Amino acid sequence: MKKISLFKSYVSMRSILEVCVVLLKSNYGKAYLSEGPQVKAFEEEFAKKFGFEHASAVNSGSSALDLAYELIGISSGDEVVMPVLTHPASGLPVVHRKAKVVFADIEEDLNVSVEDVRRKITSQTKALVFVHFGGNNRGLKEMLELAREKGLPLIEDAAQAVGSEFWGKADFTCVSLQAIKTLTSGDGGFLVCKDEEMHKKAKRLRWFGYDRELKQKLGDTDITEPGFKYHMSDITAAIGRGNLRALDWLVAHRKKIGAVYMRHGISAPIWFAYTLSPKRAELIEFMKSHGVHTGDYHYRNDKYSIFGGRQALPVMDRLESQYLLLPLHHGVSVGDVERICALLKQFNESK
């Protein structure tokens, strides 16, 4: 019986070769291990691929989010509205800045309820966050309109969105290249800023506050703002550059198997498929007994005390024990999806 994992990392042969070249050249003093020409090339290729003016490579999607909040100027007394169903990385930088995370409810498709976001906006609101849950972009257009209406900056947590058809439209777009993402560099990320000055500042802040290019020309230069050590290494960039060349194939494959899921009535954004089951715990064990790994993955974030405690969010309250993620990646075949759907049907008919 073939076992099917919920997630699977992809590393192209080109990535392996690119990394080997960096390591070999470095051994002879002819290449960087830290940030160097590979990072610069990756930034340019990534921006060109997705039609961005520029992109700042960082060491994780979490760092990209942290930089976005820093650039907006989130501080004590501010509020940031975001969906309750997301990774804690979406909200933790807000807490670090002594500001308040305000959670909005979700819709049936697990993406944020834009109407609930509207209800949660107050005079203290400093920014809005849209999360592409599973790569789902439903609601982004409405969030962009709401942000413009209210004069608020919008952050896209696009950690799971690379390869989807509508993303990268907000003031700040935060991308994750973590191991199980469609496009991975092992770990890493990008921050895409609409504003040119914000982009320049992001590049300074990711490297202690230095203007790195100026420092390389003139030697030690002044630091006028406190920065971080968030830059990407050339090893990481080499992996990402190799995988970027395979992205079209990876996305096409995901869309192909996603279409099979959808023919069976199962939702399938770009990064994972999901179903709803009132008997989720039983279904997880049933699928596991047949070699199929499923799971609930991210959780409602108001369960974590750091965010202030559980809130009444009707749709999240109803769905939190029901949503189940299904395998959707390069290692899953059309036949695998047919088998998964047949198992789901078998389970549902037996209950």
> 181, 201, 288, 303: which is the annotated catalytic residue?
181
Residue 181 designated active-site: yes
The amino acid occupying position 279 is: K
Half-sphere exposure of 103 (CA within 13 A, CB side): 29
Convert the chain into a string of H (helix), E (strand) and C (coil). CCCECCCCCCCCHHHHHHHHHHHHHHHCCCCCCCCCHHHHHHHHHHHHHHCCCCCEEECCHHHHHHHHHHHHCCCCCCEEEEECECCHHHCHHHHHCCCEEEEECECCCCCECHHHHHHHCCCCEEEEEEECHHHCCCCHHHHHHHHHHHCCCEEEECCCCCCCCCCCCCCEEEEECCCCCCCCCCCCEEEEECCHHHHHHHHHHCECCCCHHHHHHHCCCCCCCCCCECECCHHHHHHHHHHHCCHHHHHHHHHHHHHHHHHCCCECCCCCEEEECCCHHHHHHHHHHCCECCECCCCEHHHCHHHCCCCCCHHHHHHCCCEEEECCCCCCCHHHHHHHHHHHHHHHHHC
Q: Which two tokens stand for residue 44?
A: 């340019």
Q: Distance between CA 114 and CA 71 in Å, rounded? A: 24
CA distances from 235 to 19, 149, 293 (A): 6, 43, 31
Q: Which two tokens stand for residue 272?
A: 């994972």
Query: Which residues are tagged catalytic?
Result: 181
